[in-house]
A and B are shown apart, each in its own frame.
Chain A
Amino acid sequence: MSRAASPAAIIGAYEHPLRKIPDGTTADVIADVSFGALADAGLAPADIDGFFFAGTHQGLSAVAMADHLGLDNVRHIDSTDIGGASTLLQIGHAVEAIKAGKCSIALIAMGGRPLQTAGRPPLSEAGARYQADLDLSQIAQYAMVAQRHMYEYGTTREQLAKVKVTASQHAQHNPNARLPYAVTLEQVLESPLISDPLRRLDCCVTTDGGGAIIVASADVVRASGKPAAWVHGWAEATRTMARGRIDLMRGGAERTGGVAFEQAGLKPSDIGYASIYDSFTITVLLTLEGLGFCEPGTAGRFVEDDGLLAPFGKLPINTDGGGLSNNHPDRRGGMARTIEAVRQVRGQAHPELQVQDLDHALIHGTGHSLGTIASTATVVLGRSER
C-alpha cells in the first residue's frame, strides 16, 4: 500500500482507433480523442477547468485548441512540451495543480498526422547547429546507444530483437494496431539494416492519431463511481549532453524512477505492469535498467525467456503492442503508452493480456533522443486511492 492517499486519478481515456487519417485537420483529431475521453469519464467540455496541451510544434496553441474544444471554464493551463514524454509530465503537473486547488478536472490531449505532412522541421538553435553537418537521423542516434550497450555489456542483437518480438505478440490481439501480427526473432534480424545495429523492426511505427485522458480530483473521482487509475508517484527530468560529457548508458530513467517510487511508497518489484516508451528496442533496455527493474547492463538477459510477455512474464509491458507495433502518433508515444496502462489498472486490457490482481502499474516516457538531448518522466498508478 502507498504511504499517502493519492490526490487525483485518471477517470477517462481514449485512443484514436485509426493509424492513418487523411481527412480533416489535426485539430479535428485532437477533438475526436478529447470528446472520447470526456465520454469515457461521463463529462462535458464545461466540466473541464484544467487544460494540458503541447501543440506549438504543429502550429496549435493551447489557447486555440481550448477554443476549438469549447473549453470555456479553464482556469489552469499548461502547454509544457518535452517531446514524447510530454503526457507523462502533464499528468504530474495536473496532479500538482489539483493538489494546489488550481483546477479539479483536467483534460490532457494530443494528436498528430505525421503521415500526411512532410518530415519534421529541423532544429537549428542551441547546440543543433554544431551537428548539422552530420548524417545523424533519430535512428542513428539511438543506434549509437545500442552499439555502446552491446560493447559495454555484451548485449546481443537477439536480445534487442526480443523486445520487438514480444511487442508483436501483444499487438496480434489489438485489431487497431498498425502492425497487428506477431513476428519471429528471425524476421526482426533479417529486416533491413537502417543504422547498425538497429534494423527496420527495431524501430517504432509512424502513425497518425492521438489520445486523451481526464485527470480528476479525489472528490470528483469518488463521486463519479468510474473505474479509476490513481496517480501515486510522478517525476520528470532532463538528461542533457552534460556539457559534452554525455553518458549514453544513463538515459534519465535513473533520475525519475527512484523519485516516483519513493513518492508512491513502492519499489520496482511492486509493479505488476509497465508501459515503457519504446521508440526503439534499445530504449526499452536502457529504461528497464534506469528504473531499477534490473541491474545496469543486464536488461538484455531480463527480456530473454519472455520476460516482458503478458500476462505471466517477470514484467509484462506494452500490452497494446507499444510503439513498436501499435501506435506512435505525432511521433510521440507518451499518451498511447499511458492509455494502455490505464486499461490495465482498470482491468480493461485484452483478456488474454490482462495482468490479474494488478495493484500498481508504471508508465515511463522518453522525449527527444537518448543519443543526444533527452527528457524523461515517470508515473506510478494504482488501482486504489491508497
Chain B
Amino acid sequence: MSNEAASETAPAELGYHERFLAEREQGRFVVPWCQECGLRFWHPRRHCPECGSTRIDYVEPTWPAHIYTYTVNHRPKKDDEPGGTSTVGYVELEDGLRILATLEVPLDGDVIGMAVRPEARSTEAGVGFVFVPATGS
C-alpha cells in the first residue's frame, strides 16, 4: 500500500471500548446492548455474547439500581499509607444486570437492597463512577 493510499483511508470508526469511554467522559454510566438481538450485557466487548453480532451500542439504564451485595475493605495503617476503608459491591440494574462498583453509602443500616445511582467523578485517569444513595435525587 502506498503512502498516498494510506493517507486517503478514512479514520477508523471508534472501537467499542473508546465509545464506552467517550460516554463516560460525558458523565453517562452506560451499558452495552446488541442492536441485532437486543441483549443487554456486561462487560463491554466487541461481540455480543448471545448472537456474536458486532453491532454493539450503549444505553443509559433506568435508575435507581439496588445493591445486590457488598463488602467493606479494611486497610490497616502502615508507615507510608494512611489505612482506612473502602466499600465495593455489585449493583443490580432494573433489568437484572449486576455490575461491580465502588459504593459510597451509609453502612449503619441495611446495605443490601439499598437504592443507588451513579455519580460521575473526574480523576486523572478519566471519568469514573461511584454509586451513592438514590433517595432525594
B125 at the interface (CB under 8 A from A): yes
**Chain A residue nearest in CB terms to B40:** A244
Question: Is B98's CB under 8 angstroms from A144's CB?
Answer: no
Q: How far is the CB of A373 from chain B (nearest CB, A)?
A: 11
Residues A133 and B125 in contact, CB atoms below 8 Å apart: yes
Which interface class (under 10, 10 to 19, 20 to 34, 35 or more) fits B?
20 to 34
Interface code A193-231, partner B: CB below 8 Å = 1, 0 otherwise? 111111000000000000000000000000000000000
Is the CB–CB distance between A134 and B88 below 8 Å? yes
Identify which of B68, B73, B89, B90 contacts A137 (C-beta below 8 A). Answer: B73
* B58 at the binding interface (Cβ < 8 Å): no
Decide: B88 and A136 in contact? CB cutoff 8 A. yes
Asked if A115 is an interface residue, CB under 8 A from chain B, the answer is no
CB distance from A142 to the nearest CB of B (A): 9
**Which A residue sits closest to B126, measured CB to CB?**
A133
Cα separation A34 to B60 with both chains bound (whole Å):
55
Interchain CB contact (< 8 A) of A131 among B69, B98, B100: B100
Query: Which of A7-15, A145-153, A266-274, A354-362 is the interface stretch?
Result: A145-153
CA distance A137 to B43 in the complex (A): 19
* Cα–Cα distance between A166 and B105 once the two chains are bound (Å): 36
Chain B residues within 8 Å of A148, by CB: 68-69, 112
- The chain A residue sitting closest to B90, CB to CB, is A144
Q: How far is the CB of A196 from chain B (nearest CB, A)?
A: 4
Residue of B nearest to A193 (CB): B74
* Proximity string of chain A (232-270) to chain B, C-beta cutoff 8 Å, 1 when within and 0 when not: 000000000101111010000000000000000000000
CB neighbours of B72 from chain A (8 A): 195-196
A246 to nearest B CB, angstroms?
5
* Distance in Å: Cβ of B94 to nearest Cβ of chain A: 13
A351 within 8 A of B: no
A198 to B50 alpha-carbon distance, docked (Å): 35
Query: Which of B43, B76, B89, B125 sits near A127, CB closer than 8 Å?
Result: B43
Residues of A within 8 A of B128 (CB): 133
B48 (CB) vs chain A CBs: closest residue: A243
In the complex, the answer to whether A243 meets B49 with C-beta atoms within 8 Å is: yes
Tell me the chain A residues, 117-154 only, with Cβ under 8 Å from chain B.
126-127, 130-131, 133-137, 140, 143-145, 147-148, 151
> Is residue B96 within 8 Å, beta carbon to beta carbon, of the partner chain?
yes
Count of interface residues, chain A, beta-carbon cutoff 8 Å:
30
Taking a contact as CB atoms under 8 Å apart, the answer to whether B49 and A135 are in contact is no
* Chain B 59-80 near chain A by CB (<8 Å), digits 1 or 0: 0000000001111111010000
Q: How far is the CB of B2 from chain A (nearest CB, A)?
A: 35
Inter-chain contacts of A135 with B (CB < 8 A): 73, 86, 88, 102
| Chain B residues, Cβ within 8 Å of A137 | 73
Q: Which residue from A147, A194, A198, A244 sits with its C-beta under 8 Å from B70?
A: A147
Let me know if A192 is at the binding interface, CB within 8 A. yes
Asked whether, in the complex, the Cβ of A196 is within 8 Å of the Cβ of B98, the reply is: no
Chain A residues whose C-beta falls within 8 Å of the C-beta of B43 in the assembled complex: 127, 130-131, 241, 244
Distance from A198 Cβ to chain B, minimum over Cβ atoms (Å): 8
Cβ contact within 8 Å between B69 and A145: yes
Q: Is B99 an interface residue (CB 8 A)?
A: yes
Contact with A along B13-52 (1 / 0, CB 8 A): 0000000000000000001000000011111110001100
Q: Are B50 and A243 in contact (CB under 8 A)?
A: yes
CA distance A102 to B116 in the complex (A): 56
Task: Find chain B residues with CB under 8 A from A245 CB.
Answer: 96-98
Chain A residues positioned under 8 Å from B50 (CB to CB): 243
Which residues of B line the A interface, CB within 8 A?
31, 39-45, 49-50, 68-74, 76, 86, 88-90, 96-102, 112, 125, 128
Could you list 16 A-B pairs, sorted by A, with CB under 8 Å?
A133-B125, A135-B73, A135-B102, A136-B88, A137-B73, A140-B88, A144-B70, A145-B69, A148-B69, A194-B74, A195-B74, A197-B71, A198-B71, A243-B41, A244-B97, A246-B98
